[in-house]
Structure 1
């Protein structure tokens, strides 16, 4: 039998309490962990112990890899140290059940190693006192882990089947309402649906999604969670199969077993299927909603397209914000509106700075050839190969990367039509 010193008044054994809930989405008041901590205090009193401090993780899964549990981490650290922050000695842990502490073998290993790092400690739950040093105590912990893992698998399978059955019946997704529909997820939101339909038409006609996102921002449009639209969110919205009435589940378009035709949802579509297929065809496979939606399997092995312009990735926005600070956002390539500038570099962040693509690329070459510091200038052989098209774009970009950290693009002057190479300010390595 484990012996304990009378470290607390009345000879009570000082223990720490831990509580955890997986979800707190409805009330968001932490009542679950609060109730568990109350039960832990009662359990401690019933077994001659006293809770000296408590740790909790509200709305934290213990079965998913990579989920941060600050309360559990502090518990482990204090067990290893042997004392709480206030200096009180720890002689045991109390919790409602083992699955509150661990649902993965890694967490069980961490917990047992920390708990048994000092002799004479106990582990309490509603079943009673457990000796974590004995073989029976270890076997009980392993049995609890097996039960938790089995329960997690059964619950995951049950939930997956439930979502699949709802999807086959065409029931809308749960969660936040999709952009373009009202809260019932069935009736169209007139203004948003019109924006989506217009964006699909513009994208099919060749307009960049960043330009569409910028138009939405200028109109004051926000997403259903309050965020500002960007190229990625616009892409997901206009390539989602729900825009034409199709139902998807976990990144796959659902087909009716009887007919082999796509399952139709119960909601009102925004565009016909042929428009959805046409807009999807304007994107590379890795960008489509079907490979980016919640629960969708990630596409791997898709090669990223090589940059087609010299300055891609090297230019930063030099526009000033309202508070006087410099934007510093990356400049992205967009389609230009003139023969002299068939492409432009525009800020992906503030959208208040752009420069002719050929102007910026020529400015980079001038800096490398004539205007840069002596140690950064190209050799005659390299210059000859560069100027006589005996060098690939990727080789040129490697030279640029070796010479510049980046280049800052100052905003242009309205109405000035001549090229101002001084707008490109280099930051040399």
Structure 2
């Protein structure tokens, strides 16, 4: 059983929970028994983007290629495939194994020439629809670039969501990062100090070396307009830094990166990625995970083994030995800790006492990283405007204070966050049950 919903505004945005309910109804009518580990989900994963990873889809293909799947029940073929190459890959596997697609409206036997023909038409139509959406988005971005306005999307550190208004407290930190980098302080040390001071990134996460590098590489803070990776002039928004300082940092970064790559390419020395230990405190004891921040727009990830199982360690020595064997460089300074025991208490027994809003934000971010990292497992609830407003309020630190007026969560927002965290705790329990440890 396969469910997916994308960030992109497809014509059909049916949530994965409802998709699963519909697919289970279909399976029940057909007399098919679906175990929990036979439900694969790609929540907020586009099937149109060529380079976007879909762990659920990859897991489904792996199982099918081993002959372990005879029936696939998607909500609709375009939830499963929006690129012809995806369909051809599945058909190639079906040539060796008898596979049938079932859906609410039709049934497709992948060995039947007529069904294969109609599937190719449906996928081609879905691909055309995605191309049309892409063209409209690109046209919109070109118009914004010509007008000197920034592209919308993920909030840039130092600016509000529009990218046009400077956030003064963050702008001070941006200047600090650039100035101290020119003084010789590394991104790792900068991130460590910001973490120790309790500062957060634009997404409300702890600082890490890749996040500090993102700020150093940002042309937005210098008021530089960019389209498709090319500088095309000055933006209409206020710059936080003067162009001279930004250029000096860029040249220093290029010099250091060149020498770092040369050193990493030396014989017998593998290139390593930044990894951070992340301790999870629970009522049954502590586990330490390996957290890897994403570069640029790439999502943060928690390390998994070759089978897609979460790597969880009971002691640091075992973690250290595992990382040494795999050539992973661990940044030990400033180990993060998340107390899921307190989060569970708030979710299951909200009347037992208050919890810090920041803890719930950390748990929210953690569960999203966990969901993106695992190849299979129950999805987090689809997030909509109610979650967006709750997420924004949590930065003020008063989301759980009833007397905070408009800064406090409404009953609806509180219920939405509690349900999301409840699902996150379930995902965590399942991940730990299946986890691999060194």
TM-score by length of 2: 0.49
Which structure has the larger Rg? 1
Q: 2:261 is matched with which residue?
A: 304
Counterpart among 157, 178, 183 of residue 179 in structure 1: 157
Aligned with residue 44 of structure 2, among 24, 47, 59? 59
Task: Give the aligned partner of residue 241 of structure 2.
Answer: 271
Q: CA deviation at 1:110?
A: 4.6
Shift of 1:137: 1.8
3-state SS in 2 of match to 1:281: helix
Residue segments in structure 1 that go unaligned for 5+ positions in a row: 1-16, 84-89, 256-261, 288-300, 315-321, 330-346, 353-429
CA distance in structure 2 between the partners assigned to 1:173 and 1:73 by the alignment:
34
Alignment partners' CA distance in 1, 2:252 and 2:77: 52
Give the corresponding residue for 1:99: 78
Where does residue 243 of structure 1 map in the other structure? 221
Question: Higher relative CO (CA 8 A, sep ≥ 6), structure 1 or 2?
Answer: 2
Q: Deviations over 1:40-86 (max 9, x none)?
A: 567779xx745543734233333334623436734873796567xxx
Higher helix share: 2
Matches within 5 A, 1:48-87: 49-50=30-31, 52-53=33-34, 55-57=39-41, 58-63=43-48, 64-65=50-51, 67-70=53-56, 73-74=59-60, 77=63, 81=67
Q: Normalising by structure 1, what TM-score?
A: 0.50
Is the aligned partner of 1:203 residue 2:181?
yes
> Aligned equivalents of 1:128 and 1:211: distance in 2?
58
1:222: Cα distance to partner? 2.5
Judged with a 3 Å threshold, the aligned counterparts in structure 2 of structure 1 residues 148 and 200 are, in CA distance, closer, same or farther, namely same
| CA distance in 1 between partners of 2:242 and 2:333 (Å) | 34
Q: Distance in 2 between matches of 1:79 and 1:212?
A: 47
1:32 matched to which residue of 2?
A: 15
Contact 1:55–1:75 under 8 Å retained in 2: no
Check 1:265–1:111 CA distance in 2 against 1; reply closer, same or farther (3 A cut).
same
Cα pair distance change 1:349/1:166, threshold 3 Å: farther
- 1:166 alignment counterpart: 144
Change in CA separation of 1:270 and 1:137 when aligned onto 2, cut-off 3 Å: same
Is the CA contact 2:152–2:161 (under 8 Å) kept in the aligned structure 1? no
Q: Per-residue CA shift, 1:328-363, capped at 9, x if unaligned? A: 79xxxxxxxxxxxxxxxxx964289xxxxxxxxxxx
Q: Note if 1:188 corresponds to 2:158.
A: no
Distance of 1:59 and 1:283 partners within structure 2: 34
Is 2:5–2:44's contact at 8 Å kept on the other side of the alignment?
Answer: yes
1:309-340: CA deviations, max 9, x gaps?
9xx999xxxxxxx99967979xxxxxxxxxxx
Residue 363 of structure 1 is matched in structure 2 by none
Distance 2:14 2:182 in 1: 50
Distance 1:132 1:313 in 2: 44
Kept in 2: contact 1:41–1:50 (CA 8 A): no
Instruction: Verify: 1:111 aligned to 2:97, yes or no.
Output: no
Q: Classify 1:122/1:198 alpha carbon distance in 2 versus 1 (closer, same or farther; 3 Å).
A: closer
The equivalences for 1:18-417 within 5 A come to 18-23=2-7, 32-40=15-23, 49-50=30-31, 52-53=33-34, 55-57=39-41, 58-63=43-48, 64-65=50-51, 67-70=53-56, 73-74=59-60, 77=63, 81=67, 93-112=72-91, 123-125=101-103, 128-253=106-231, 255=232, 262-266=233-237, 268-284=238-254, 304-306=261-263, 349-350=332-333
**1:284 CA drift (Å):** 0.8
Contact 1:79 1:114 (C-alpha < 8 Å) held by counterparts:
yes
Question: Structure 1 CA distance, aligned partners of 2:213 and 2:72?
Answer: 50
Matches of 2:26 and 2:320 in 1, distance apart? 57
- The answer to whether the 8 Å contact 1:172/1:185 transfers is yes
Q: Matched residue pairs, number?
A: 275
RMSD (CA atoms): 4.6
* Secondary structure class of the residue paired with 1:248: strand
